[in-house]
Each structure stands twice: as C-alpha cells, then as structure tokens.
Structure 1
C-alpha cells in the first residue's frame, strides 16, 4: 500500500436522495471520497468490496433499517472496526439512543443537523483512520525490513561462498581466455602484432609475423623499421580502424609482398594498444594476375575464332567466284556474280567496322545534347519498323538535364536495343522508351519491351562479343552498346521476366547535375 496515495472513503447511507444530496453538500470539500448507498443492502455490498473510514447511516429505511444494517456490519470481522454515526429524525428518546449504541454506533446525530459539527466529527474519524493506516503501513514496512535483514543475515555465508565461487570461476575463465588468445595469436596463419597507441612501440608479434617478415620485436623497435607501405609506396604509420587496407611490406630478405591490413584498438593493462593483422595475399595476387592473363588470352582466342568464322563465309563466296573466273578466262563474270561478291565484301567490311567500334580508345565526338531530342529524331524510324510488323513504339520522355554524349553513338545504341526489343516481341507488342532522373540525380534511359524475357544463361553472356541468339546475327550489336556506354561513363543494367525485358542506361549523376546547373 502506498501511503502517499492513500485516500479515505466515507459511506453515506440514506434511502432519500435529497438527504444524500444534503450530506454531499456538507462533506464535498473534504479530503476524502464519498460513496453513496440508497439502502442497507446496497451499503453491505459496498462494505464487501471497499474499506471505509466512517459510515453515516440513516436509521429509518425500508427493508433493512439502520439498526439491522449496523448489526450486520458489526457482525463481520473485517468491517466490525468501522465507526458508525447514526443520522435520524426520530425523537431523542433514550430508548432509540440506547438501541443505536447497542448495535455498534459511536455517535448519534439528529436532524436537522449542525453542518459544522457533522463535518468536524467526520474529519476526526477520517483523521484517525488515516493515522491508523500510516501506523499499519509503517508496521508492515518494519516487518518487511526485519524479514529482509533476517534473510540477508541467514544467507550472508551463502552469499560469501557464492561470490568466492564466482571469483574462482572468473579467474579460471580469464586464465582460459588468455591461454586461448595466446594460442590464437601465436599460431594464426595471419601476421599479427600488438603495439602501443601512444608511441607505436611493438609489444609482441606472432610466429607467422617472424617467419614471413624475418623481423623480431627487438629488431623493429631498436632499428625503427618502417617496412609496411600503402599502395602509393608511402610508409604507413600505425592507424586505428583500418579494414582490409591493401599494403606492401618488405621482408628482411628484401622480398616485396602484398597484404590486407586491419587494425583494432584494444586495452592491455589499462594501456591503449593496437592489434594489427596482415593477411598475406601475395600468392593469391600472383594467381589472380595469371588467371586474368589466361582469361585475356582465352577472350582473344574466342574473338579471333568469331572474326574468322564471320569473315570466312563471305570470303569463301568471293574466292569461289574468282576461282571460276580464273578457270574460264574467256567467259567474264556476270554482273550478278560481281554484285554478289561486292555484297559479301561489304558484309565482311561491316563486320570489321563493327569490331573496331568496340575499341575503347575510339575517338568520340561528344557534345552537350539532350537525350530526348535524339530519341525524338529516331522515333519515326523505329515506329515505321514497328508498324511493318504490327507492333508499336511509345515514348515517355521526362524533364532531364543535358549530358555530354556522341550523338551518332547514342543513335546507334538506342537503335540496337530498340530494334532488338521489337524483334523479341510477337505481333501487338509495344516498346516503351523512357527518360527520367533517379534518386541520385542521374539521367536514366530505359528501353522496355513486352517479349518473353531472357533466360539466365543468355542474360549472363549478354554484351559478350560474338554471342548471339539470332540466326544471322554477328553477336557484336550488344557488345558495341556496352562499349559505347563505357566510353560515356554510363552503366547498363538489365531487368527481365516473362512480362518483358528492360534495359537501363544510367549516365553519371555528377555530369547530369553540372549540365543542369549550367543551363
């Protein structure tokens, strides 16, 4: 029970509402809560559920009268202590007063009552009630405290033993932890060292550090060696919170090795220290370079095979007709044969031209352009191609800034992707060309078709030279698009599903913002 929030309750019992209203008017401003009952039965129900400081009970009531109600209240152990003040309009005969006191009343007030006297009496009983509750509260608190002290006293030895056991366990765990750290530190395949943060003096290094670098702690500290370098060959001072920083380190035998350096601040004997870990990736780096070289050779081989395959076909036709002309000098080649040879030579030249378009160092004639203007110029051509095949092209051009691009290369890229989209759809399909700014402020060109989408194996190889799913394709169209995007510092991403494929060409945000500011 919280004594600060304790509030006394006063029960007013009278069958006449006007009498209850009169009592409320006298007692309303008291620091207690008034509870009303209109009969003896209702009063008993309240007493079963609540505790009261005093009861003001009318004598004359239908059903249970005041005397009968008082007997029942006093007959219950839990409510027998509640003081009862009878309020009555009966005569002041001694018989009534005597009966009232015999039933348990502590006082008798006759109507009409004196307001001041009534309130004073109620205040006295409320004050007594609150004092009793405070004493009871203090007594309970004292009993609780005594029980708590007794419990603590009885368990003091047990607590001391538990704390002792905890210290023993903690010391054991600390010792075990230190042993584990030493084993992990010393026998780790990574190079590990601990130095102070204040002056960078090395405290210890592990076995791998000594075996790989050849330097002990004493040699590093005595000679002030700086043998760890960042990628730009500047000596790397001890730094905190590095994560896989690529570094070069030179061994005692002057061998240059490559590693990934990570550092973390730790506390040792209340001193701030740095734990440095170097993962030696020298062999892995050599292997990656070799794999890259082999991949390059493999790509060159594939491209050479592709070029040979694509050019051999038209060359075979030309050689065949020239052989015929050589064997029969008197019969000149017909114009049909000559045109066919020229067509094949033109085809071979086109393949070579497309291949050269892949060159990264190809000269670009870049100018400040708005992609929307380039798309609108190409729209009639794409729409005409679409109409001939019962398809359509739809434009959704947003408000975008200008970018620095080569108009011819942009036309070539949009046509390649747009025509591919038209070919991928059945009759009635629609290609949507959209431009917008993404959340980073980058200019984005989206070309979306409503085809069947691309399987994963095709998506993984898209943009690879000479890879094509078309019967008569050269496999250079998308490779050229990726090459053009690279020359414009743009990124191509693809989203595909059974509902169609979308190509997103995203131009650098910085460039787009600069052009927007200039305009």
Structure 2
C-alpha cells in the first residue's frame, strides 16, 4: 500500500529563509528611500511598492512580516489597500503600520485602526521608534516560522512512525473485512490474501498465485476469470465479474469479484486490490423472482402493482398487456384509474382504505377494465395490500376476464328461469289430479267401511299415503318457485310459539320410538309470526333430526326468549354435517350425504327462505363426527313487521362501494 502524503505536511526541500520581508508602500520614491535607510540596520529584506495595486500583487507571491503603508496615495489609498489585505485569509493577520503627514484628525486616526492597523504614525516620526516597532513584528514573524519548521519536523517523525506500522495495519484491516480479499502488484502477481479467503477455501500457508486462486473457481468459469484478471492488470481499470467459488466443504457459491486499481499520487498503477463478496443468497432470490415473473407473465390474468400515494402502476405482467391491448412499457408509470373504468378516485380510495388499515385481508369485486382503444372488458378483481417493513407498501391487483363466464352465467340463468317456470307450471298442473285421486281414494275407503288391514283397504291406505307424499313434494316445488320469484307471502298473526313447538314435537313423536323428543321452552311465548310457515320450518328440522340419526338418540328442542327476539335450537345425535358441506345444505337440491337418507334437498332451502322472510336467520353447527350430530339454530324477531322495517332501513343506510356487484 502506498501511503498518501498531504501537501500541507510536506517538509520543505530547502531550509527556510532566516530573514523576514518588510513591505514599504509609498507613492513618493524619496519617502521609500528614507524608510529604507531607517530600517536597513535591522538586516531584513526590504521590499518597496509605489502603489496599493503593486503591494497587493506582491502579497500574492510572498509572505511579509510587517507592512509600512502611506495613507495618502493616488488611485487606491492606504485604507482601501488595507481593506483588501484583510479580506484575504492568507494576509489578514499581517500587521500594518500607517504613515501619514496630513491626517492628524482623531477621527482619521480611528479610521486607520478600524481598517486593521496595529499603529498609526504621524510624520515626521522618530526613526528609532519606527525601527523599534518594526523589529518587534519581525521577531514575531521569525519565531512563528521557527515554530512551523519544528511542527513540520514533528509531523515528519510521526509520519515515519505511522509508515512503519502501515503494512501491519493494512493487513489487519483486510483480515477484519467480511469478504475474501487479495492484493497484487502492478504486474498482477498476487502476494497477499486475507484470512477470510483462507478460512473459506481451507487453504493455510503456501505461496499465493493466480493459479492457486483459480483452483477454487468453478471449472466452467476459470478461463473467463483469468481473462478478466489479465485485462484488469493490463488496462489498470476497475472490473467486476460474477463467479462461483468453492467453499472448504465442497459447496459452490456465487460471488461478485471486483478488481480495483491502486495508484500513486502521480496516477501510476502500483497494485490491484481484489474483493469477492458472497452473493449466493441474493442470486438465488433474484433467480426465484425471475421465475416468479416468468410465471406471472405466462398467466392470462391481468396482474398489476401500484403504490398507495399516487396510485401509479409500478408493475404489469404480460397478461395485463394482452388483456388491455397495450404494452407493459405504456402501463408502467400511468395511473391505475386509467385501467379501472368502473370507479372514480374517491370510491376507489374508499375501497383501498380497509386494506391499508388491515380491517380486510383482501377485496374481491367485479368491475370493467378499459382497453387502449376505449372498449371495456368485464373482470373479477382480487385486490390485496402488501406491507413493506418500515416503508411504503404496495397494492397487488389480479383481474380475470369474466366475459365467457358472464355469458355462461347468463345462459345458466336463462336455463334456471326456464326450469323454474316449468316446475311452477308442472306443480300447478299436478295439484288437480292429485286432489282428484285423494278424493276418490277417500270415497273408496268410506265405501269399504274403514276396513284397511287387508285386501283393497290396505291398498287404498298405501295409495293414500303416496298421494300425501306427492302432494308434499308438489307443495315444496311450489314454495321453491315462490321463493325464486319473491312471492312467498306470510299470513302474520299473534300466537304462542312455545305451544306450537310442543304441538309439533307431539305430532312428530309417532315417527320413531327410537328418537325421544325433549322440549325445553317457556310456558308461553307470544309474538307476531306466520304460524303455518313456522310449523313447516319446525316440522322440517325435527324430521331431519330423526332422519339423519339412523342409530336413534334423543332430539332436543329448545326455545329461549331474548331481548329482541327468540332463539330456537334443534339438536340431534346423528351423523353430523362435515364443515365443508354446511353451506351446500341450504342450496336447492343440496344434500350433504347424497341420496342415502332420502329427500329432494328442498326442505332446508324453503326453511331458510321462510326464516329470512320473517327477518331472522338460520344456521348450523356441527363437527361432522358421527354420534355428535348437528345443532340447527333459528333466530326470529318478536315482531315480523318491525324486523322487516329495520332490515329495510339497514339496507338503505349501508354505503355501497362505487364498483359494480362489489
């Protein structure tokens, strides 16, 4: 390592002058001769200047011990010259003695002191006094020069001591660095490697060389690293290269090598410092990001990233360019509002707010994206906020083109409407023949005189039971049609719900002796509901509890009066409902266990519609473990009309996001 020497610390090549310079400034040569005669006995260098300008030029080249300056001079007078001298850092401390024969006024004398004069002498002056005053400043100047020489010698000795330790300190510094490091001479010959490299490669001792270094470079990169090193030595410029270096355990890890030229104060190459930084983890991360980006570009979905402040797009995948009929370059730097066609800035920021605050993990909504040609494409967007540790996060938007899905949904909706219309028409048409068959069966049984144990009477009993079953199925289909059309009406009346629960359970007791029904209800619980429809709900839930408990077991029906409503629970000990299928059972024809236990899968759908029509809700709790069964919950308001009004008020007062079908 070549030590750098400061110009301020450099020891003078020749011995300093033993004499001081005295600058005499006067526009009259006779006055300069007189001053020269007075000061010559001091044995110092006397310099004469006939103007302020000449004096300033001289001070740019040399240092003086004291300045004797005439006040009255043409052009730049003594005061002005002194002002310029005091402005320069180098000359501001030079003592100035003003000499004048004209201005004896005290104010004029004070002006001289104000311009930095150390003395103000009036002509004629005593030569001995002038010589004595000048000699004082000369002695101070010479002593200051002596102190500077001594300080320079002291700095030289300190520098020599530091230079003796520089090599040791240099090596200690290299060993303390966390990266592998080498030092080479100007011809490229390596002469030093720090302890990090030795510990990393497991090489201890031995003569260091380029060939030894290349032994730990991956075979496929050795010749390239040799070429890079030779080029750095030949050109004397900084170079860098990624390569794999072998660790002492045989593992190859990526490193970034930098070769930095070391030059002296004249710009000549004196050596090369090489550093290898482990970037294996960083490179693996970059490779993973590159693969991730390739994956995003391969997807057909539109993936966008934008920052929260200006909503500026910072990333767009190839799928976004395809979906929006543009290029990735055109998207980057633009506003996401230029893409979001179905929302304004205020509504969009309202949509983002709960994501930034953490209230919601994501937002899923349907909107339209605007293409470059102005057309719009319907999309379903999943929007998330990705926070950055301590910094500003970003939003990630994944938008899928739902054009084909909307077409399929429209076709399915039309098919469902046609099916519902057919079911409604068929149900209405079936009621008439079923009523006629029921009537004829009843007349036939009357003619037989109630003999139903055997023969035709037994057959008529079976026919009558099947007609009742068909009638129930037709009524369920009609109820489903009414629910779909929003025409399920309620006949509200005030009655005792606790009494209805007891009546229903007593009626259902005959279905199975293996399923005892236990009712826990207050003595009386009146409210405003549709008695027939709630009887339908209770009948369906209790019959389901019995049907899905093939091994038997108690069925508990509980009614609890609350402040604002009534809470009913029906608990069984049957097969239970798996959690992943609990949403399915409330859909039309949805059955958690298939057709194993019978039924069309309409009862719970109708029950949910009736409960919601009352302003209540229905849900189920079950772990899906056989023997633990299920618990169905029904919550009803005490007054249907009040609940409907409250529900309507809530619907109208709830703010809606300014996106379609959010």
When the two structures are superposed, what TM-score results if normalisation uses the length of structure 2? Answer: 0.38
When the two structures are superposed, what TM-score results if normalisation uses the length of structure 1? Answer: 0.47
Q: Name the one with the larger helix percent.
A: 1
